[in-house]
């Protein structure tokens, strides 16, 4: 049971994990050095704790205590109870969704573990059963992994994870330059999916992707190159194991990575229009290949 | 040819159109009362002017003048040339993409015009020819319109327009509560697509959607309701004229609107996962029905 501790001094050192959440550079250092990450909002805090991440502490206004009663009961970390004004003074913004938690990062998985892993998506217990949805119609051997190359925007990384979770992609591999999936904004945009889908960094990049080939994945570089085949053609091939590689919006997948791929595939688009952003491209590709 | 006018006083009244761009409420009043909207960034400014919107003025730092030379040559509106510091002082934020323009809003189209309209998407002249892309394979009579109900988030509205443009949707209808497509952030997220795709408001809502039925559109409410048919089923029907209605993420299409629809359709998703956000849902639905 988390001890409820009222804090009234914004400079209280026990609130250090929650300082200046809008200062991206400061947070990167602070979170890396202390091996922590922040969860924001009742739903995400619950998913993090239920997903097995150990809480260092919680921070919330009194009105959020009831909704998180069970979560707090399951943890020994302290819960700092503060006014909304104090929360704002510490974090630097109005905490709309009220509850925050600081959690311990876990060691990164190996690429092998993500690639070879079975369907290890954690389904929260509060979720209703949807046995009628599309995924149950997939052959049990069909597997899909998403590979994100150099997506430096936290919102894009979060959106890719959310789409992966919604559309049944089992794992995510990230290039070293990709934004941190456990950064607050990425977690929030992902609706907590980064806490559920197995993921890791690939290093060296892109050579570490060889693990995909060893496991007989068809590696597909998503690109707007004219010589790429249409997404429909990929769908008609029905690959049993499929790794979809997405690059930055501007340049797409790097030539080095594209040359490692088995196939180059593009989403056909209307004439004269900028490409879909990478989040929309993941949604389309994950849906089409489900 | 736009006159280049150097301005060094942040309180110069000629800069009034550009004040406090981060203040959403203030901007809503100011833009409505003066019938203006703001375009941000070289590409969007160009699209707005080339799309036929009349500029009231331009505001930019000297380094953006060259890139917009032709656009400025085509307009009689004044171009206020300012330092980047002054631009920041006036607008309230660092203007990353440099160029701003204030433009006259045009009268809203009639619903009839959007629904009956031919393919009136303006293709900017600087765009390369892509006659090999998917859309050219559509039968010429097949038409699609997107309907957005109560999307209050400017980014979601912008993303829906961007996806519509990229995936060949010809028009957009908005409920009265939808966020303004010509608000700066919506334009930016749409990559200027709101300036290209014909759109209008539907009022009264939802009765004004009757124009879709009169033009023999199949009206489809996108929803997560269990009794909805899967998107695949809709695709297999191959409707010649299709209107796809998207609602807010939380509640989906309202019951009133859903009851007007010919069909309720859902995107199949993995068990235990929050739905796709509405931007991703538009990308999937537009792609699947192309």
More confident: A28 or A37: A37
pLDDT at residue A210 greater than cutoff 60: yes
Count CA atoms closer than 13 A to B133's CA, side-chain side: 20
Is B223 within 8 Å of B265 (Cβ atoms)?
yes
Taking 90 as the threshold, does the pLDDT of residue A159 lie above it? yes
Contacts of A203 (CB under 8 A, 6+ apart): A176
CB contact under 8 A, A123 and B271: yes
pLDDT at B141: 63
pLDDT at A27: 86
Residue A130 distance to chain B (closest CA, Å)? 5
The confidence score (pLDDT) of residue A138 equals 43
Q: What is the pLDDT of residue A30?
A: 82
Q: What is the pLDDT of residues A173-208, one digit of tens each?
A: 999 999 999 998 999 999 999 999 999 999 999 999
B120, pLDDT greater than 70 = no
Domains of chain B are: 4-104 (3.30.1330.30), 111-288 (3.40.1280.10)
Average pLDDT estimate for B131-139: 41
d(CA B78, CA B59): 9
| Residue-wise DSSP of A38-100 | EEESHHHHHHHHHTTPPEEEEEE-GGGTTTTHHHHHT--S-EEE--HHHHHHHHSS--TT--E
Partnered with residue B146 across adjacent β-strands are: B172, B244
Rounded CA-CA distance B231/B287 in Å is 11
With H, G, I as helix, E, B as strand and everything else as coil, classify residue B13: helix
Beta-bridge partners for B5: B80
Best CA proximity match to B286, nearest among B225, B224, B229, B220: B220
| Chain segment A262-285, per-residue pLDDT in tens | 999 999 887 666 678 999 999 999
CB within 8 Å: A269 and B230: no
Mean pLDDT check: name the lowest of A92-101, A227-236, B147-156, B202-211.
A92-101
What distance in Å separates residue A208's CA from the closest CA in chain B?
Answer: 29
In the numeric block, which tokens belong to residue B14?
């000629």
> Which pLDDT value is given to residue B237?
93
Alpha-carbon gap: B65 to the closest alpha carbon of chain A (Å): 23
Q: B25-63 burial, b for 16+ CB within 10 Å, e for fewer?
A: eebeebbeeeebbbbbbbbbbbbbbbbebebbbbbbbee
What share of chain B in percent tops pLDDT 90? 69
Can you tell me the distance from the alpha carbon of A10 to that of B167, in angstroms, rounded to the nearest whole number? Answer: 50
Tokens of A49: 């704790």
**Sheet (strand A218-222) strand order:** A199-201, A171-174, A143-148, A241-246, A218-222, A263-266, A229-230
Contact A29, A78 (CB under 8 A): no
Q: Which of A166, A169, A232 to mutate to test the interface with B (most CBs of B within 10 A)?
A: A166
| Closest-CA distance of chain B to residue A231, Å | 10
Beta bridge partners of A37: A103
Q: Judge whether residue B265 has pLDDT over 90.
A: yes
> Which tops the pLDDT comparison, B135 or B288?
B288
Beta strands in chain B (DSSP E): 4-6, 36-40, 55-60, 79-81, 100-104, 143-148, 171-174, 199-201, 218-222, 229-230, 241-246, 263-266
Between B131, B269, B290, which is nearest A133 by CB? B269
Q: What is the mean pLDDT of residues B285-290?
A: 94
Option in A133, A191, A277 nearest B274 (CB):
A191
Query: Looking at beta carbons, which residues of chain A come within 8 Å of B230?
Result: 134
Give one DSSP letter per residue of B269-282, joined into a string: --TT-PPPPHHHHH
SS3 B15: helix
A277 with B168: Cβ contact below 8 A: no
In this prediction, residues A138-166 reach a mean pLDDT of 89
Q: What residues of chain A have any CB closer than 8 angstroms to a CB in chain B?
A: 121, 123-124, 127, 129-136, 159, 162-163, 165-168, 191, 193, 226, 230, 267-277, 279-284, 287-288, 290
Which of A132, A167, A275 is facing B166, going by the closest CB pair? Answer: A275
First to last CA, chain A: 42
Question: Does the pLDDT at position B17 exceed 70?
Answer: yes
For residues B258 and A275, the model is more confident at B258
ipTM for the complex shown: 0.83
Give the pLDDT confidence of B90-118 residue by residue, as tens digits.
998 777 667 999 999 999 999 999 998 74
Distance between CA atoms of residues B64 and B80, nearest Å:
12
Interchain CB distance below 8 Å, A273 and B163 = no
Which one of B165, B271, B276 has the shortest CB-CB distance to A283? B276
Alpha-carbon distance of B17 to B79, in angstroms, equals 13
| pLDDT at B207 > cutoff 70 | yes
Judged against a pLDDT cut of 70, whether residue B126 lies above it is answered with no
Residue B189: phi and psi, rounded to 5, are: -65, -35
State the average pLDDT over residues A50-54: 91
Find tokens 């970390």 and name the residue: A77
pLDDT of residue A2: 87
pLDDT in the model for residue B27: 85
pLDDT at B274: 65
Q: Is the peptide bond before A204 cis (omega within 30 degrees of 0)?
A: yes
B134-B252-A44 Cα angle (round to 5): 100
Q: Is the pLDDT confidence value at A132 over 50?
A: no
Question: In DSSP terms, which residues pair with B171 in a beta bridge?
Answer: B145
Check A276 against B230: CB less than 8 A apart. no
**How many Å apart are CA A284 and CA A144, to the nearest integer?**
14
- Reply yes or no on whether the pLDDT at B190 is more than 50: yes
pLDDT tens digits along B31-60: 887 899 999 999 899 999 998 999 999 999
What is residue B127's predicted lDDT score, i.e. its pLDDT? Answer: 41
Judge contact between B209 and B260, C-beta under 8 A: yes
Over residues B109-131, mean pLDDT: 61
């Amino acid at each position: 049971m988390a001890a409820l501790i009222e804090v009234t001094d914004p400079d209280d050192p026990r609130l250090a994990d929650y300082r200046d959440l809008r200062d991206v550079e400061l947070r990167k250092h602070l979170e890396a050095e202390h091996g922590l990450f922040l969860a924001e909002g009742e739903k995400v805090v619950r998913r993090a704790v239920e997903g097995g991440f150990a809480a260092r502490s919680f921070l919330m206004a009194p009105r959020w205590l009831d909704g998180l009663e069970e979560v707090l009961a399951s943890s020994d970390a302290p819960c700092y109870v503060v006014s909304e004004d104090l929360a704002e003074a510490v974090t630097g913004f109005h905490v709309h969704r009220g509850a925050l938690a600081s959690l311990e990062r876990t060691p990164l998985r190996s690429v092998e573990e993500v690639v070879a892993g079975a369907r290890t998506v954690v389904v929260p217990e509060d979720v209703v059963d949807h046995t009628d949805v599309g995924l149950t119609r997939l052959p049990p051997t069909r597997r899909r992994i998403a590979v994100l190359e150099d997506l430096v925007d936290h919102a894009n990384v979060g959106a890719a994870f959310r789409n992966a979770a919604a559309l049944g992609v089992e794992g995510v591999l990230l290039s070293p330059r990709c934004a941190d999936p456990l950064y607050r904004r990425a977690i929030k945009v992902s609706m907590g999916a980064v806490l559920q889908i197995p993921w890791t960094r690939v290093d060296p990049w892109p050579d570490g992707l060889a693990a995909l080939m060893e496991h007989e994945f068809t590696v597909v570089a998503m690109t707007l190159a004219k010589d790429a085949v249409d997404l429909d053609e990929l769908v008609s091939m029905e690959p049993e194991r499929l790794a979809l590689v997405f690059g930055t919006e501007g340049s797409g997948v790097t030539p080095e990575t594209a040359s490692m791929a088995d196939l180059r595939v593009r989403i056909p688009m209307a004439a004269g229009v900028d490409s879909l952003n990478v989040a929309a491209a993941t949604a389309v590709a994950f849906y089409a290949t489900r």
